[in-house]
Structure 1
Amino acid sequence: MDDVSTSGENASTPRRRRGRRPAGEVRAEVLAAAADLLFDDGMAAVTFERVSTTSGASKTTLYKWWPSPGALAAEAYFDRVEEALEFPDTGDVEADLRSQLMAFTHLMTDDRAGQVVRELIGAAQSDPVLRAAFATSYGRPRRDEAVRVLARARERGQLREDAPLDVLVDQLWGACYHRLLVLDEALDADLVDRLISNALHGAAPAR
């Protein structure tokens, strides 16, 4: 099996190579293989046996790097969607929020990623290892990135000095997840605009 410390290669195994490969290369191939299985066939397809066969990494390596197949699936999901969810920072906080939220809603509604994230979040409710992995690999990094962008906007004077940035992030993306997972209602451009307007300008009457 192709691995970070391969020995005893069998020429009948196409993916098997001689010698040691960089751990980063092996990990990237494992995450790509796990993401393919996850997006093509769902959570049940992400087993260490199938990922090992597909990626060429040994099951020993998978057990060393991930506590469970669910934890691997969570990291593979984030690895697959990370580029699509990059947060712009153009200097216009309202435009940047809209751009990122539109990318997010597009991913959730027009792509297989929406169904996959439903499966991951659903499975995480009865799997504490997956729940922790999803928060570590996906939830908190996404939130932290948004807070960093908003912090720079606050430094530019576009947000109040006392604005609670983590709460603002929860308001915006939490509302989207609520629609997606609880209400099964539309995520669209109109919703994005209304969420941003309410978050930045508030619901109180103007004085």
Structure 2
Amino acid sequence: MSETSATRRGRGRRPAAEVRTAVLAAAGRILLRDGMRAVTFDRVATEAGASKMTLYKWWPSPGALAAEAYFAQSRDALDFPDTGDLRADLITQISAFVRLLKDGGAEKPVSELIGAAQMDPDLAQAWSESYALPRRELARTRLRSAQRQGQLRDDADLDIIVDQLWGACYHRMLVLKAPFDESIVVRLVDHALYGAAPRGA
């Protein structure tokens, strides 16, 4: 490599995709470590080594940045398996979700994000578009696969199943403020798949 080439690479601007990845990673770390209020453009720009003006250009508010950062931070942890066994895959995925909330430090910032979204339209849109709808579609894709394999009825309401499973966790966390852990996951999945009626009814 020539000296001129090396100099240009060392002093040139980083590609936009690289900067965006660094910003989301920094915002995600701050969010999970210190909560939503700590996610400011000043602090994230400093930690990511980015221009604050760049953040203003890409996100309408720190809350919108925090919502997208949470999705980026949680993507690998909440990967949805498809082993062919729907019950096992649901247990694996929802257990990972509960672990992220309880052991991964996400419960408080997620509660803050959802609460703030009720009063902040930019954050509400970012949370929906950057996290809630993509994660919901991942679940629906897995459930549709199960339908094709005959593991769910053809007329099963996939949105209701998603609401039953993940909605139960959000309800306990946000509304009841009730403690929960991975011990509820198998019961959640079995009730969603098999119902609560007596066997044979």
> Same fold per TM (> 0.5)?
yes
Residue in 1 that maps onto 2:172: 179
Residue in 2 that maps onto 1:135: 128
Cα RMSD (Å):
1.3
* Gap regions ≥5 residues in structure 2: 1-9
The 5-angstrom pairing of residues 43-192 of structure 1 reads 43-192=36-185
Residue in 1 that maps onto 2:195: 202
SS in 1 for 2:159: helix
Pair 190,33 (structure 1): closer, same or farther in 2 beyond 3 Å: closer
Q: Distance in 1 between matches of 2:23 and 2:110?
A: 19
**1:20 Cα deviation after fit:** 2.7
Which stretches of structure 1, 4 residues or longer, exceed 3 Å deviation after superposition? none
**1:40 Cα deviation after fit:** 2.2
Q: Distance in 1 between matches of 2:186 and 2:40?
A: 40
Compute the TM-score of the two structures, normalised by the length of structure 1: 0.88
Residue in 2 that maps onto 1:14: none
Amino acid at match of 2:123: L
* Gap regions ≥5 residues in structure 1: 1-16
The count of residues paired between Structure 1 and Structure 2 equals 191
Q: Point out the structure with the larger helix share.
A: 2
Amino acid at match of 2:116: A
Amino acid at match of 2:12: G
Residue in 2 that maps onto 1:21: 14
Amino acid at match of 1:167: I
8 A Cα contact 2:99 2:182, kept in partner? no
Compute the TM-score of the two structures, normalised by the length of structure 2: 0.90
**1:114 Cα deviation after fit:** 1.2
Pair 50,190 (structure 1): closer, same or farther in 2 beyond 3 Å: closer
SS in 2 for 1:57: coil
Amino acid at match of 1:157: G
